């Protein structure tokens, strides 16, 4: 994976050269690429994910779909500004940090979506941002499988083993929940959404990640699934 940065006027784009070169001439590296209007005008929006910011599913090439996710605030901060963040430098923006972290995890062979590009638009003391990653074909949220009682013991153990592999790599996933775990058509789990996540030395954060996941699972099912996930985690 080769990351390159572009800068013009008040915008900056960090992108994976190889991802955008797979379909030369199809899409220009430009801030418009990170807007709903760009994809809507071309009839290439194929779906939308639930949640804050409304991530869009895009038919980027005939054989590959992307996910466009704008950064949006939640809670009390959203009352001040839903999509503006304090500017402290390009490399400290949430978009650049998440793309670089996702690229690092991807290069280690961990099950994460391939990052495509991130865009930051700078407005004096603030900025707005968006991120594009490759969509995992045919994947469903772990939460959806829980609601429909489709998570068997083998899958739960694979989820535990997947989380363990990330913890071994030092990833503190600050929003580990059942919606941020995807299951592909072969039954393999993937992890997504690394906003505000970071690599750390071993510590109590690993236990806190799992406790957060447990609270999330309880929102979708009353079944005692965490002991089985822990079995996979400890294998």
Which residues are catalytic, by number?
Answer: 175
SS3 at position 21: helix
Phi, psi of 96, rounded to the nearest 5 degrees: -65, -40
The HSE-up count of residue 188 (CA atoms within 13 Å, CB side) is 7
| Residue with tokens 């957060």, as numbered in its chain | 212
Distance linking the first and last C-alpha atoms of the chain: 31
84: its two tokens: 């503006």
Q: Where are the alpha helices (DSSP H) in the chain?
A: 17-21, 36-41, 77-80, 94-107, 142-147, 153-168, 205-217, 226-234
b/e 59-75 (16+ beta carbons within 10 angstroms → b): bbeeebbbbbbbbbbee
Q: What is the DSSP string of 34-50?
A: GSHHHHHHTT-EEEE--
């Amino acid at each position: 994976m080769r990351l390159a940065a572009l800068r013009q006027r008040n915008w900056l784009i960090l992108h994976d050269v190889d991802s955008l070169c797979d379909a030369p001439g199809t899409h220009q590296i430009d801030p418009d690429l990170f807007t709903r209007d760009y994809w809507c005008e071309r009839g290439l929006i194929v779906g939308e994910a639930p949640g804050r910011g409304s991530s869009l599913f895009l038919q980027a090439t005939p054989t590959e779909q992307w996910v466009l996710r704008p950064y949006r605030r939640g809670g009390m901060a959203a009352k001040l500004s839903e999509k503006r963040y304090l500017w402290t430098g390009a490399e400290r923006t949430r978009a650049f940090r998440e793309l670089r972290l996702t690229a690092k995890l991807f290069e280690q062979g961990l099950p994460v979506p391939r990052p495509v590009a991130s865009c930051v638009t700078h407005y004096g003391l603030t900025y707005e941002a968006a991120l594009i990653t490759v969509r995992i074909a045919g994947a469903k949220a772990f939460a959806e499988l829980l609601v429909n009682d489709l998570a068997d013991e083998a899958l739960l153990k694979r989820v535990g083993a997947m989380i363990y592999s990330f913890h071994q790599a030092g990833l503190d996933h600050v929003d580990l929940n059942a919606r941020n775990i995807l299951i592909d058509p072969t039954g393999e789990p993937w992890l997504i959404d690394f906003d505000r996540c970071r690599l750390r030395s071993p510590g109590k954060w690993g236990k806190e990640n799992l406790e957060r996941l447990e609270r999330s699972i309880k929102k979708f099912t009353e079944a005692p699934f965490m002991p089985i996930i822990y079995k996979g985690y400890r294998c």
